[in-house]
Amino acid sequence: MTLRNYERTPAGEWVPIPSDDSSFLSDLLADRWPSTLPRPPVEPDWDRIPKELQDTPSWVLSTGSEDLDGQRTETGPETGERRPIPPDGPTRHPFDVITRAMEGLPNLKGFSNLKPPLHFFLMGTPFTAITLAARNPETGELSELGELVMHTLDTYGQISQWGDVVTFVLRGVSRFGNLDVGGTMVSGANVIIHPTGVRLPGTPTTINDRQEQLDSLCGFLLARAGREAPQSDEDLSAR
């Protein structure tokens, strides 16, 4: 048996959602974690999202995965209707505006009818996120690289709804811009993350200042991949 999408029954039991083998979600999950055990997804806990993020008005309601007259769209918290994303990026709101809107719009649901993940736009904030698929969702164990990143940064880390992806959020700016080094994403400008409020055990509850550690980690990741550190916008775009 491979991993499939799950839903919760009225009795509170998690059961696989029937689907054919051509299901995109089924294929995605099966590719990530072949399994002999059913795995319920991780349900977001909005109340436990770090206060540093809650207090930053950079929250977005949904994102533009759908097109409207050829333009990417976002969802307006006032009506729940989709609208074109402005030229300068998604419209950002205070945390409470987005949570109230999502609770009042029942059509906005995550997979398996869970609360959907919230969207936080990093641009213009003092935060950088480091994201990697480094956790076994069945055992909770981190990969060797995941452990190294966790202990190097010593800042808040969260578990994604999928259970296998972890994201660490810190105060600091990547000197190399946004990086994708062997599947480890270092993101700041023009990137949206999905805070779940499900803290990774062993990480602090706070988002800490970690500029020196971020610089060190980026250097390590680039060296590990046999890549030179990009020095300019042209170098960044070439990579």
Please tell me the predicted confidence (pLDDT) of residue 32.
Answer: 43
Please tell me the predicted confidence (pLDDT) of residue 149.
Answer: 95
- The β-bridge relationship of strands 157-159 and 165-171 is antiparallel
Amino acid identity at 102: M
Burial call 157-195: b when 16+ CB within 10 Å, e when fewer? bbbbbbbbbbbbbbbbebebbbbebeebbbbbeebbbbb
Domain ranges (residues) in the chain? 1-40, 46-238
Please tell me the predicted confidence (pLDDT) of residue 92.
Answer: 92
Q: Considering only CA atoms, which of 144, 139, 150, 128 is closest in space to residue 200?
A: 150
Other Cβ atoms within 10 Å of 142 Cβ, number: 20
Please tell me the predicted confidence (pLDDT) of residue 236.
Answer: 39
Please tell me the predicted confidence (pLDDT) of residue 239.
Answer: 36
36: which residues sit within 8 A by CB, 6+ positions away?
Answer: 1
**Per-residue confidence in pLDDT tens, the chain, 239 aa:** 233 445 556 665 555 555 444 343 444 444 444 443 345 678 889 999 999 999 999 998 865 455 656 677 888 888 778 888 888 888 899 999 998 888 777 666 555 556 676 889 998 999 999 999 999 888 889 999 999 999 999 999 999 988 889 999 999 999 888 888 888 999 987 788 999 999 999 999 999 999 999 999 999 999 888 877 666 444 433 33
Q: Which ranges of the chain does DSSP label H, i.e. alpha helix? A: 24-32, 51-54, 95-104, 144-153, 211-224, 233-238
Please state the φ and ψ torsions of residue 37, each to the nearest 5 degrees: -120, 140
